Amino acid sequence: MAWWKQKDVGFQTWEDFERGIRSEFKDHLEKKDACAKLKCTKQTNTVREYISLLQSLNIDAGYDEEFL
């Protein structure tokens, strides 16, 4: 059941409410975090590791391959 549909029944506990909010906004927050990490990421290891990290963050942020 979607969290906004819970309002008809009401959340039984704070944990239920928290779980509903987290599941609804998880993707958005992960994308936001990945975008922030992309902006401040610096190469500290090998080029291969750096490129791998950037590609992973790029996918998490929801950008296409052309963004990099």
The CA-CA-CA angle for residues 46, 52, 56, to 5°, reads 150
Its pTM stands at: 0.57
CA distances (Å), origin 20, targets 5, 30, 31, 55: 10, 16, 18, 30
- Show pLDDT as tens, one digit a residue, over the chain (68 residues): 555 555 566 778 888 888 888 777 777 788 889 999 999 999 999 999 999 999 999 988 888 777 66
Q: Domain residues of the chain, as ranges?
A: 10-63
